[in-house]
Amino acid sequence: MKLRIFRVVTLIAAGAFFLVPIGAMFEFSTRGVGENSPRTLANWKAILDFPELVGPLTPNSSGIIASLELAAITSIATLVVLVPTMVWVRLRLPRLRRVIESISLLPLTIPAIVLVVGFWPMYQWMGINFNDSILTLTFAYIILVLPYAYRALDAGLAAIDVKTLSEAARSLGAGWPTVMWRVIVPNISSALLNASLLSVALVLGEYTIANNLLYPNLQVEIVSLARTNAGVSIAVAVASLLFAFGLLVGLSFVGSGPRRQRARVRERLVQTFGRDLSGGTR
Amino acid sequence: MTAAAGTGGRTGVEVRLEDLRRRYAGVTALDGLNLTMAPGELVALLGPSGCGKTTALRLLAGLEEADGGRVVIAGEDVTNVPANKREIGMVFQAYSLFPHMTAMQNVEFGMQLHDVGAAERRKRAGDMLELVGLSAHVHKYANQLSGGQQQRVALARALAIEPKVLLLDEPLSALDARVRARLRDEIRRVQLEVGTTTLFVTHDQEEALAIADRVGVMNAGRIEQLGPPTTIYSRPATPFVAEFVGLTNRLAGTVKGGEVEVRGTRLPLVKPDTADGPAIALVRPEAVTMAADGDIIPGPMVGTVIATVFLGATSRVTVDLGDITVLAQLPTSDATSLTAGTRVRLAMRRDPVLIARDEKASTEA
Residue B6: inside a domain: no
pLDDT per residue as tens digits for the range B185-217: 888 988 998 899 999 999 998 899 999 999 999
Establish if B153 belongs to a structural domain.
yes
B100: chain A residues, CB-CB within 8 Å: 186-187, 259
- Residue from B55, B95, B96, B151 whose CB has the most chain A CBs within 10 Å, to mutate: B96
Please give, rounded to a whole number of angstroms, the shortest distance from the CA of A72 to a CA of chain B: 26
Is B3 inside a domain boundary?
no
B4 inside domain = no
What band does A117 get if pLDDT is binned at 50, 70 and 90? very high
Chain B interface, best mutation among A165, A170, A172, A256, by max B CB count within 10 A: A172
| Residue B21 lies inside a defined structural domain of this protein | yes
What strand order describes the sheet that includes B42-46? B88-91, B165-169, B197-202, B42-46, B214-219, B222-227
Q: Which residues of A touch B158 (CB under 8 A)?
A: 171-172
Q: Within this chain, do residues B158 and B78 fall inside the same structural domain, yes or no? A: yes
Chain A interface test: which of B54, B102, B104, B170 (most A C-beta within 10 Å): B102
B126 and B26 in a common domain: yes
pLDDT confidence of residue B131: 87
pLDDT of residue B156: 92
- Number of structural domains found in chain B: 2
Same domain, B251 and B235: no
Query: What CATH number is attached to the domain comprising B154?
Result: 3.40.50.300
pLDDT at B361: 41
Does residue B258 sit in the same domain as residue B322? yes
Average pLDDT (A171-183) is 95
Specify whether B189 is located in the same domain as B295.
no
Same structural domain, B86 and B212: yes
Domain-located, residue B269: yes
Same domain, B156 and B270: no
Rounded CA-CA distance A166/A189 in Å is 16
Helical spans, DSSP H, in chain B: 53-61, 103-113, 118-131, 147-160, 177-194, 205-211, 229-234, 239-244, 332-335
> Among A173, A270, A282, whose Cβ lies nearest the Cβ of B161?
A173
Q: What is the model's pLDDT at position A281?
A: 33
Query: Residue B306: inside a domain, yes or no?
Result: yes
Tell how strand B248-256 and strand B277-283 pair up. antiparallel
Provide CATH code, domain A41-266: 1.10.3720.10
What average pLDDT does the segment A147-168 reach? Answer: 94
Mean of pLDDT values over A220-248 = 83
Q: Three-state DSSP class for A278?
A: coil
Q: How confident is the model at residue A270 (pLDDT cuts 50, 70, 90)?
A: very low
Residue B83 CA, distance from chain mean position:
25
How near does any CA of chain A get to the CA of B134, in Å?
14
Q: Is the pLDDT of residue A135 over 50?
A: yes
- pTM for the complete prediction? 0.78
What confidence category does residue A266 fall into, taking pLDDT thresholds of 50, 70 and 90? low
The enclosing domain of B307 has a CATH number of 2.40.50.100
Cβ-based contacts of B144 with chain A (< 8 Å) = 263
Q: How many CA atoms lie within 13 A of B336 on its CB side?
A: 4
How much is the pLDDT for B270?
85
Q: Reply yes or no on whether the pLDDT at A265 is more than 60.
A: no
Q: Which residue of B has its CA nearest to A169?
A: B110
Answer with the one of B208, B239, B270 that is the final residue of a domain.
B239
- Burial class of B215 by CB neighbour count within 10 A (0 to 12, 13 to 18, 19+): buried
- pLDDT tens, residue by residue, A63-111: 778 888 899 999 999 999 999 999 999 998 988 999 999 999 999 899 9
* Domain that residue B48 falls in: 15-239
The residue-averaged pLDDT of A229-242 equals 85
Is residue B7 a part of any domain in this protein? no
For residues B58 and A40, which has the higher predicted lDDT (pLDDT)? B58
Shortest alpha-carbon distance between residue B43 and chain A (Å): 20
- Domain ranges in chain A are 41-266
For residue B88, list chain A residues with Cβ-Cβ distance below 8 A: 171
pLDDT score for A60 = 47
CA torsion through residues B39, B40, B41, B47, sign: positive
Of B357 and A273, which is predicted with more confidence? B357
According to DSSP H, which parts of chain A are helical? 2-29, 42-46, 51-54, 64-92, 97-109, 112-129, 137-158, 162-171, 176-178, 185-187, 189-204, 208-212, 218-228, 230-253, 258-273
Q: What distance in Å separates residue B12's CA from the closest CA in chain A?
A: 18
Distance CA A213, CA A216 (A): 9
Question: Min CA distance, B19 vs chain A (Å)?
Answer: 23
Pair B121, B23 in one domain: yes
pLDDT confidence of A256, banded at 50, 70, 90?
low
From first to last of its 365 residues, what are the pLDDT tens digits of chain B?
343 333 444 568 999 999 999 999 889 999 999 999 999 999 999 999 889 999 999 999 999 999 999 999 999 999 999 999 999 999 999 989 999 999 999 999 999 999 999 999 999 999 999 988 899 999 999 999 999 999 999 999 999 999 999 999 999 887 888 788 888 888 898 899 889 999 999 999 889 999 999 999 999 999 999 999 999 988 888 889 988 988 889 999 999 888 999 988 899 998 888 888 888 999 989 899 888 766 666 778 889 999 999 988 899 999 998 889 999 999 998 888 888 988 899 999 988 888 886 544 444 43
Residue B199's φ and ψ, nearest 5 degrees, are -110, 125
Residues B235 and B325 in one domain: no
Give yes or no for a contact between A86 and A157, defined as CB atoms under 8 angstroms apart. Answer: yes
Q: What is the pLDDT of residue B7?
A: 40
**pLDDT score at B337:** 85
Cβ atoms of B365 and B327 within 8 Å: the answer is yes
B239, B271, B296: which is the final residue of a domain? B239
pLDDT of residue B97: 95
